[in-house]
Amino acid sequence: MDFTLTEDQTAITSLAAELLRDHCTQEALRADEDSAEPGFDRALWAKLAASGLLGVALPEAGGGLGLTVLEAALLLEEAGRFTAPVPLLAHTISATALARAGAPLDGLADGSRLVAPALVEPLGDEHEPTTTFSDGRLSGTKTCVPSGLFADAFLVSAATPEGPRVFLVERADVTVERQDTITYRPEALVLLDGAPGTLVGDLADVLQVATTLVAAHQLGVAEEATRLTAEYTKTREQFGHPIAHFQAVGQRAADCFIDTTTIRLTVLQAAWLLAEGLPADKAVAVAKYFASDAGQRVARAAAHLHGGMGVSREYPLHRYYIAAKHNELTLGSGTRQLLALGRLLAEEPV
């Protein structure tokens, strides 16, 4: 497998990095955290829509760029790198899943319509939803819905006689309650009480796409935490020397680089397999395992090597620590991924 980016992929990452770097200053990020609707910088959202990046994995007929899950993953890597205060993760998961299922895409490319993935239930396994679909109606509860407070509609997973499926549900047909999180950006509790739903497709593909894109976001978070740590340890002096010169510090920072590289390779492999329509269940579990386990290891090492600065809200690292913890647990921690991988391997014929 060749990990060299194509011309289109390089253009996407460069454009995203330029837009996000210009807009996601420390002042802008702090202002978003203190705003009435943290997590949705409308000005940045408009810029992303105007650039075409909101439609990266949508077909050209739907106003998009006609690209794949791989390009969507590269976009979310950049979003994680800048902890961008926009619902880009939720939007990209839903838009990519809808495009792969051949569902209607109105308003997605220009950002005028936001669909949030509602795939998680309280104390449940997202692969086996307890939400049910019967006689055209959905009943159940979805928790930790990313950007759910801003959504116009939801991708809802539910059990049916034919197996787990995903349905498109309009916001007007459900009850939405705010859930505050450690990331300063609220999520939503969605109560389904006989809400009508439109069938989108099988749950398995949606979960694979969503899990891979969460891992891609974690990649950007880990990369930037590693970069911040490298810069800090080169300039922070102790006993007349930069602390990067001390062996223990250098080894810990090197481990961050190795962990981040591992996340990158496994995420790219999973995204490429999905983009090519190849079996990806094991690769997705491996990518999310490393995103969860290695990503949290990077976050802890970065905070440790920064000392007191690692927890100061006046310094950017705290955003990466809480984003890494949030991504670690979203759609299953590392332990959950290993259990899933074990089941998949056990089911393979000898």
Fold of 7-112: Butyryl-Coa Dehydrogenase, subunit A; domain 1 (1.10.540)
Residues facing 204 on adjacent strands:
none
Domain with CATH 1.10.540.10 in the chain: 7-112
Q: Could you please report the per-residue DSSP string of 229-296?
A: HHHHHHH-EETTEEGGGSHHHHHHHHHHHHHHHHHHHHHHHHHHHHHTT---HHHHHHHHHHHHHHHH
pLDDT digits (tens, 9 = 90+) for 227-252: 999 999 998 878 888 888 899 999 99
This prediction has a pTM of: 0.96
| pLDDT number for residue 3 | 74
| pLDDT number for residue 193 | 92
Torsion 48-53-58-60 (CA) sign: positive
Domain with CATH 2.40.110.10 in the chain: 116-202
Domain with CATH 1.20.140.10 in the chain: 204-347
Fold of 204-347: Butyryl-CoA Dehydrogenase, subunit A; domain 3 (1.20.140)
| pLDDT number for residue 186 | 96
| pLDDT number for residue 1 | 62
Q: Evaluate whether 327 touches 291 at the Cβ level (below 8 Å).
A: yes
| pLDDT number for residue 237 | 74
Fold of 116-202: Butyryl-CoA Dehydrogenase, subunit A; domain 2 (2.40.110)
Q: Could you please report the per-residue DSSP string of 316-336?
A: THHHHHHHHHHHHHTT--HHH
Torsion 202-206-209-214 (CA) sign: negative
| pLDDT number for residue 114 | 98
Query: C-alpha dihedral over 192, 38, 117, 70, to 10 degrees?
Result: 180
| pLDDT number for residue 265 | 97
| pLDDT number for residue 245 | 86
pLDDT digits (tens, 9 = 90+) for 60-103: 999 999 999 999 999 999 999 999 999 999 999 999 999 999 99
Q: Could you please report the per-residue DSSP string of 296-308?
A: HHHHHHHHHHHGG
User: What is the C-alpha R_g of the chain?
Assistant: 20
Tens-level pLDDT at each residue, the chain (350 residues): 667 899 999 999 999 999 999 999 999 999 999 998 999 999 999 999 999 999 999 999 999 999 999 999 999 999 999 999 999 999 999 999 999 999 999 999 999 999 999 999 998 899 999 999 999 999 999 999 999 999 999 999 999 999 999 999 999 999 999 999 989 899 999 999 999 999 999 999 999 999 999 999 999 999 999 999 999 999 887 888 888 889 999 999 999 999 999 999 999 999 999 999 999 999 999 999 999 999 999 999 999 999 988 888 889 999 999 999 999 999 999 999 999 999 999 998 87
β-strand pairing of 115-118 with 153-158 = parallel
